[in-house]
A and B are shown apart, each in its own frame.
Chain A
Amino acid sequence: MALLEVEDLDVRFYTEEGVVQAVDGLSYTLDRGERLGVVGESGAGKTVTALALLDLLDRPGRIEGGSIRFDGEEVLDAPAERLRRLRGGEIGMVFQDPETALNPVYTVGEQVAEAVRVHTDREGAAAHDRAVALLDRVGIPDPATRATQYPHEFSGGMAQRVVVAMALAGDPDLLIADEPTTGLDVTIEAQLLDLLDDLAADDLAVQLVSHDLGVVAGFCDRVLVMYAGQAVERAPVDDLFYHPKHPYTAGLLSAIPRIGDDRDRLATIPGTTPDLASPPPGCRFHPRCPYAEDACTKRDPPLAGVDEVQPTGASVAGDIADDAGDHRAACLAYVDDADFDGALEFAVEVAADATEDDEEADP
């Protein structure tokens, strides 16, 4: 049984413009010590999913259906007391914008010690010492004095390290990182990813949410691609990068600027993410999919296994029992009974080494 099992998650936002289906029937699993990357454009529902895991959504968002089982125990109907022990205890969370994630009027030491006090039986000075140790563990120099300082005296990178320290206070089994490095510049980003890498080494499962494929490629074991609130592709990381199955994933990969790339314009996916208040019929990607056919506009493809063509009717969407190697994509091309006769003519070409790339002409 996996550490985290999310099944058919349904989250909606009740806004002035109508009900926004932010997450629509999402299912995935995460094993102990495993690193899952959740990628997708902005508005795909990556953050909402992360927040839903700890039931941190507040008005006007609400979890309408599905179940989230952590270590076999259902989170959604957990009593408040149990939920509190879960938050920061077994599941730690790191947020995107370190500057605003910390309370400006309390010292950093106090904010970390507070987490320690909640999840361990340490109090007072013992809790403070543990906090300083945690600050040291996350690589903050001279942690004792830094603990007495306030968040505005910390740089972006250092502040994020404090948030990580806070997340580790309860010695969690799972760390959810919601675009932890997006706000940081590249060099700091790399150091932070090294830190996460180091932390994940001792059996800490990590769900890294990001819109940066490079970060995911360097850190995760498996990747979940989300589009407009749905999972469109799920695969081990190298399968995904070298054998993308879903047109959207291919589009994402082609949109990465590469050093030495001599094309005058970046390849982009035309159009924008759909308005989740009134999503397009059928496959939500069809308006932007170059291979879209009439069928695509009628039927919302399930997450079908890509290796062997699935017999019709195998409702794979609900099927979460995937093993590490499983590779699925939500596209009619992989559903045999769909009258999808075209072919997805895209492939990934591997350049032997960096130098050879340069002089290659664009086709």
Chain B
Amino acid sequence: MSLRRYVLRRTLLTLPILFGVSVLTFGLVKLLPGTPVDYVLQFQDATPELRASLRAQYHLDEPIWRQYLLWLNDVLHLDFGDRVVSDRSVRAAIVDRLPETLVLGGFAFLIALLVGVPTGVVAAVRRGTLLDEGSRVVALAGIATPNFWLGLLLILVFGVHLNLVPVIPPVAPVFAPESLAFLVLPAVTLGTASAALFTRLTRSAVTEQLRQEYVRTARAKGLDERTVIVKHVLRNSLVSVVTVAAVQVAFLLDGAVVIERVFSWPGLGRLLVRAILQRDFPVVQAVVLLVAVAVVVANLLADVLYAWLDPRIAY
């Protein structure tokens, strides 16, 4: 089965999942006590007619499944509708924040990989030594610190006392050098947890591969230890690291929800939490669906990469 057909089959397989996600999101938001109209009209002595007209505007009085179908119809036309809380369209709200979210997430993911994988390899090769346990403790220190507290500490040390990095995002486009310089702290804070995970995973994967026979054959061929590790062992170990990397997408957004607030970074995480708390359900559904698609695509990419890395796996 060729790659194209495999990707097509997998995409079709994901549709029920996306459907499930949209139903769950819709149901969940409907369960939230209070409606967006209450939010908009709170502490206003609004006349009942006004309340009714606003409810009608958001189809709040129609049966729930009809509301879902109406919403689904809009989504299929990529019209996510208007935000309840502000008069900007949902799509605009998301598009405004997408680059920021991707840059922060990507930067953190990169740091996690560049720190996590090498540490994992060293820990595995030097297994049982002080270096192994030392690197593990350092990596775990990243995962053990509550990220908002770590963020605040970094701001305090590097932003306020050393005045090295601005405390709030500079007024510059997201790819400008000073923005990226600012992003170092949030990306490090966000990436530490994932880095610790990658370290642990790589360590067990490399340890597993080091036991395989082909490593002995490689050494018997007269290859130096570095080539044996980097060329032969690493490629086999990456196979299992890749599958977990995909799950990181949702994990990174978890962290982003907190980190974006601490570093005042305008990302989707912050938008999503505020939308949940403000019952701005068009935004909630749109962002959650977007994240779900991202997670599903990431899993798909991981499987394709997995198959590309390991020839034994046929599509």
Binding site for B on A (CB under 8 A): 51, 54, 56, 80, 84-89, 92-93, 95, 97, 100-106, 114-115, 118-119, 150, 152, 163, 166-167, 169-170
Judging by beta carbons under 8 Å apart, are A105 and B309 in contact? yes
Contacting residues, chain B, for A150 (C-beta < 8 A): 311-312
State whether A169 touches B214 (Cβ < 8 A).
no
B271 to chain A, nearest CB (A): 42
Q: Given contacts A84-B224, A88-B221, A115-B221, is CB(A103)–CB(B232) below 8 Å?
A: yes
Further pairs besides A87-B220, A152-B312, A166-B221: 12, Cβ < 8 Å: A85-B222, A86-B222, A87-B222, A88-B220, A88-B221, A89-B222, A93-B217, A100-B214, A102-B214, A104-B310, A105-B235, A119-B222
Chain B residues with CB below 8 A from A84, complex form: 222-224
For residue A59, give the distance in angstroms from its CB to the closest CB of chain B: 8
Name the A residues within 8 Å of B216 (CB-CB).
51, 56, 95, 101
Expressed in whole angstroms, the Cα–Cα distance for A166 and B311 within the complex equals 21
Question: Does the CB pair A114–B311 fall under 8 Å?
Answer: no
CB nearest neighbor in B for A116: B221
Which B residues lie within 8 Å of A169 (CB)?
221
> Which residues between 203 and 241 of chain B lie within 8 Å of chain A, taking CB atoms?
212-214, 216-224, 232, 235-236, 239
The answer to whether B213 touches A101 (Cβ under 8 A) is yes
Which residues does chain B contribute within 8 Å of A104, judged by CB atoms? 214, 236, 310-312
Chain B residues, Cβ within 8 Å of A114: 221, 223
- Known contacts A100-B214, A101-B213; is-contact A93 B312 (Cβ 8 Å): no
Residue of A at shortest CB range from B233? Answer: A103
For B223, what are the chain A residues with a Cβ–Cβ distance below 8 Å?
84, 114, 118
| CB pair A95 B213 closer than 8 Å | yes
B213–A105 touching, CB < 8 Å: no
A280–B239 Cα distance when bound, in Å, is 47
Query: How many Å lie between the Cα of A115 and that of B232 in the bound state?
Result: 13
Q: A150-B311, A152-B311, A152-B312 are in contact. Are A101 and B221 (CB under 8 A)?
A: no
A-B contact count, CB below 8 Å? 73
Q: In the complex where A100-B212, A100-B213 touch, is A118 in contact with B236 (Cβ < 8 A)?
A: no
Given contacts A86-B222, A87-B222, contact A101 B312 (CB under 8 A): no
Are A101 and B214 interface neighbours, CB within 8 A? yes
B310: contacting residue among A56, A80, A86, A105, CB under 8 A? A105
Distance of A87 Cα from B239 Cα, bound (Å): 29
Please report which residues of chain B, range 288-315, place their CB below 8 angstroms from some CB of chain A when the two chains form the complex.
309-312
Chain B interface residue number, banded: 20 to 34
Q: What's the Cα separation between A89 and B216 when bound, in Å?
A: 15
- Chain B window 259-288, contacts with chain A (Cβ cutoff 8 Å), 1 for yes, 0 for no: 000000000000000000000000000000
Contact of A105 among B218, B220, B221, B311 (CB under 8 A): B311
B220 contact set on A, CB distance < 8 A: 54, 56, 87-88, 92-93, 95, 167
Query: How far in angstroms is the closest Cβ of chain B from A133?
Result: 17
Q: Which of B214, B223, B310 has the most CB of A within 10 A?
A: B214
- Contact check, A56 vs B214: say whether CB atoms are below 8 A apart: no
Instruction: Name 6 A/B residue pairs within 8 A (Cβ), A-sorted.
Output: A85-B222, A92-B220, A105-B235, A105-B311, A106-B232, A152-B311
**Cα-based distance from A93 to B221 in the complex (angstroms):** 8
**Residues of chain B contacted by A54 (CB below 8 angstroms):** 219-220
Please indicate the chain A residues that have their CB under 8 angstroms from the CB of B221 in the complex.
87-88, 114-115, 118, 166, 169
In the A-B complex, list the 9 residue pairs whose CB atoms are closest, starting with the nearest. Answer: A88-B222, A100-B213, A87-B222, A103-B214, A88-B221, A93-B220, A150-B311, A115-B221, A84-B222
Contact assessment for B213 and A97 in the assembled complex, using a CB-CB cutoff below 8 Å = yes
Which residues on the B side are within 8 Å of A106 (C-beta)?
232, 235
Set of chain A residues within 8 Å of B212, measured between Cβ atoms: 100
CB distance from B206 to the nearest CB of A (A): 14
Q: Which of A97, A101, A169 gathers the greatest number of chain B CB atoms within 10 Å?
A: A101
CA distance A54 to B219 in the complex (A): 9
> Residue of B at shortest CB range from A170?
B222
- State in angstroms the CA–CA spacing of A167 and B218 once bound together: 11
Interface residues of B in 12-41 (CB under 8 A from A): none
A313 to B91 Cα, complex, angstroms: 96
Given contacts A87-B222, A103-B236, contact A166 B312 (CB under 8 A): no
A56 to B216, CA, bound (A): 7
Measured CB to CB, the closest approach of chain B to A295, in angstroms, equals: 42
Chain B residues within 8 Å of A101, by CB: 213-214, 216-217
Query: Which one of B232, B311, B312 has the greatest number of beta carbons of chain A within 10 Å?
Result: B311
**A95–B217 CB distance below 8 A:** yes
CB-based nearest B residue for A81: B224
Query: Most B CB atoms within 10 A — which of A97, A118, A119?
Result: A118
Residues of A within 8 A of B311 (CB): 104-105, 150, 152
Q: Which of B173-206 contact A (CB under 8 A)?
A: none
- In-complex Cβ contact of A103 among B218, B224, B309 (8 A): B218
Shortest beta-carbon distance, B312 to chain A, in Å?
5
Determine the residue in chain A with the shortest Cβ distance to B217.
A101
Could you tell me the distance between the alpha carbons of A86 and B216 in the complex, rounded to whole angstroms? Answer: 15
Write out the residue numbers on chain B whose beta carbons fall within 8 Å of the beta carbon of A93: 217, 220
Residues of chain B lying within 8 A (CB to CB) of residue A89:
222
Q: Which residues of A contact B309 (CB under 8 A)?
A: 105
Distance in angstroms between the alpha carbons of A85 and B222 in the assembled complex: 6
Q: Is the CB of A166 within 8 A of B224?
A: no
Complex: A100 Cα to B232 Cα, angstroms:
13
